[in-house]
Amino acid sequence: MILPSSAYSRAVLHLDLDAFFVSVELLRNSALHGKPVVIGGRSRRGVVASCSYEARKYGVHAGMPMRMAHQLCPDILVLKGDMESYSKYSTLITDIIADSAPMFEKASIDEFYLDLTGMDRHIGCYKWSIELRQRIMRESGLPISFGLSVNKLISKIGAGEAKPNGMMQVSPGEETAFIHPLSVSKIPSIGKATYKKLSFMGVRTVRVLSEIPARLLEREFGKHGISMWQKANAIDDRPIVPYSDKKSISTERTFQVDTIDVKKLKSLLMGMVEKLAFELRDMKKLTACITVKIRYSDFNTYTQQKRISYTANDKNLMQLATTLFDKLYQRRQLVRLIGVRFSHLVTGNYQISLFDDTAEEMQLLQTMDAIKRRFGTKAVVRACSV
Ligand SMILES: [Mg+2]
């Protein structure tokens, strides 16, 4: 059943650049075309941040330990990432979208959701989307795919199916017909562990998942079970969250009673850095500048700042903050206030942009963040900020 495009209850466009980091590298060095290329940590303990479609043919994928990529494809070319230039391209594309779309969300460095509801009467969402995609490719030189449907979930899966360099429209009413034949692994929130468990239960397609009573899935998987069932039935009410171009985040603390207790000051600072770094990762941002501030009891205020390579890793940031604090706290005087700021923020997923981080370090961060999201930011902290 094909409905006219005016029948859209909502119209959500998902735009996703193809192998974004690699595509930027190809723009700069055409000799890389057609080669298995990965970007990521160069040490053997590093992680694949992005990989070319040629590398994917060998089974290489983002998030995989670099040493495994080497095993799958011994001739693989490993490039060190260049966040500065990826960020520049991301901003260029964001500007084009901001110029064209009434309302959009930047979901990551290379992914966008646009709310096109109500636009159909004028020009037709699909035609409009095609024109926007062409403009982005023309002005940036980068390949991009899209999915267009009534919600975020179906549009995201649609863009994934259209890749590379493609587009897909799922007409209203066709959502379940589109996703039901697909593997459950195509549902974004279904990770490796859930996929294994579902396979073990004999659930391989989205159709079978959609037919299981929600209560049963809840018993097996808790809240995630309900959300899986909703997704398998193409239900997704998530709104488009308008893009914010926040350039810095900061926090500070004024003491009731001025203090000279260095241990206490440092531990407080570590807690602040940890909390801000989590906020950064939650906003899917990275920082390139850290500032530590101290105000003495005589109201004299001093700051120390340092430019760094893009990161959202609290371990790196804590070390930097400690160094800055040691430089700063020269006068053995009572302190009235202490603060920290991260600035020069850019959008970027820490999982894929900390080129020098090891797989173990990333795993630890992801696990800690998952616990924080469930139980609150105080639920788990690094030993040094206790
Ligand atoms: Mg992408």
Give the CATH H-level superfamily of domain 7-170.
Reverse transcriptase/Diguanylate cyclase domain (3.30.70.270)
Q: Which CATH number fits domain 180-232: 1.10.150.20, 2.60.40.1730, 1.20.58.1610, 3.30.70.100?
A: 1.10.150.20
Question: Residues 54, 105, 111, 175: which is the catalytic one?
Answer: 111
Q: How confident is the model at residue 91 (pLDDT cuts 50, 70, 90)?
A: very high
105 among known catalytic residues: no
Q: How confident is the model at residue 260 (pLDDT cuts 50, 70, 90)?
A: very high
Q: What angle (nearest 5°) sits at the alpha carbon of residue 375, between those of residues 370 and 381?
A: 70
pLDDT score of 386: 46
pLDDT score of 382: 67
Q: Are 43 and 186 in contact (CB under 8 A)?
A: no
Per-domain boundaries in the chain: 7-170, 180-232, 248-376
- Would you say residue 3 has pLDDT above 80? no
Percent of the chain with pLDDT over 70: 91
319: CB partners within 8 A, 6+ apart? none
- Give me ligand 1 centre to Cα 112, in Å: 10
Q: How confident is the model at residue 192 (pLDDT cuts 50, 70, 90)?
A: confident
Residue showing tokens 């459950």 = 184
- Give me ligand 1 centre to Cα 160, in Å: 9
pLDDT score of 119: 76
- Give me ligand 1 centre to Cα 256, in Å: 48
- Give me ligand 1 centre to Cα 144, in Å: 8
pLDDT score of 82: 87
CA-to-CA separations, 185 to 129, 182, 244, 276, in angstroms, rounded? 27, 8, 31, 33
User: What's the pLDDT tens digit per position in 14-63?
Assistant: 999 999 999 999 999 999 999 999 998 877 678 898 999 999 999 999 88
pLDDT score of 15: 98
CA-to-CA separations, 373 to 214, 224, 259, 297, in angstroms, rounded? 24, 14, 33, 37
Asked if 180-232 and 248-376 have one fold, the answer is no
Report the chain's mean pLDDT, rounded to a whole number: 89
* Domain with residues 248-376, CATH architecture: 2-Layer Sandwich (3.30)
343: closest CA among 289, 302, 285, 272?
Answer: 289
Bridge partners, 337 (sequence order): 254, 295
- Give me ligand 1 centre to Cα 17, in Å: 4
CA distance 303 to 320: 14
Dihedrals φ, ψ of 235, to 5°? -90, 125
- Would you say residue 356 has pLDDT above 60? no
Q: Are 24 and 167 in contact (CB under 8 A)?
A: no
**Distance between first and last Cα of the chain:** 60
- Give me ligand 1 centre to Cα 52, in Å: 11
pLDDT score of 47: 87
- Would you say residue 281 has pLDDT above 90? no
- Give me ligand 1 centre to Cα 175, in Å: 22
Question: Which segment, 234-238, 345-349, 358-362, is predicted with the most confidence on average?
Answer: 234-238
CA distance 258 to 261: 9
- Would you say residue 6 has pLDDT above 50? no
Q: How confident is the model at residue 131 (pLDDT cuts 50, 70, 90)?
A: very high
